[in-house]
Amino acid sequence: MKTILLFGYLPRDLARNWILEKGLTEQGFRILECRTLQKGFIGKYTDLMRKFWSVRRECDVILVTFMGYYFMPLAWVLATLTGKILIFDGLVSMYESEVEDRRRISRFDPRAWFLFFLDWFSYTVADRVLLESPVYGTFLSRRYGTPADRFLFLPVACRTDIFRPATMARVASPARPKQGDIRKFRVVYQGRFLPIHGVETILDAAAEIQSHGIEDIEFHLIGKGQTEPAMKRRAAELGLRNVLFRGFLPTLDDVAQELRAADIGLGTFQKSSKADLCMPHKVYEVLASSVALITIESTAAKAIFGSEEVALFIPPEDGKALAEAILRLKRDTALRESVTARGHEFFLQNFQPAMIVQPLTEYLCTSC
Non-local (6+) Cβ contacts of 110 within 8 A are: none
Report the amino acid identity of residue 332. Answer: D
Domains of the chain with bracketed CATH: 3-157+353-367 (3.40.50.2000), 166-350 (3.40.50.2000)
Q: Please state, in angstroms and as integers, the Cα–Cα distance from residue 252 to each residue in 158, 176, 290, following that order.
A: 11, 18, 17
Q: Which of 190, 240, 103 is nearest to 232 (CA)?
A: 240
Prediction pTM value = 0.91
Q: Residue-wise pLDDT tens for the chain (368 aa)?
A: 799 999 999 999 999 999 999 999 999 999 999 999 999 999 999 999 999 999 999 999 999 999 999 999 999 999 999 999 999 999 889 998 889 878 889 999 999 999 999 999 999 999 999 999 899 999 999 999 999 999 999 999 999 999 999 875 544 444 444 444 567 999 999 998 988 889 999 999 999 999 999 999 999 999 999 899 999 999 999 999 999 999 999 999 999 999 999 999 999 999 888 889 889 999 999 999 999 999 999 999 998 998 788 999 999 999 999 999 999 999 999 999 999 999 999 999 999 999 999 999 999 999 87
* Number of residues written out for the chain: 368
Contact 14/66 with Cβ under 8 angstroms?
yes
DSSP one-letter code for 148: G
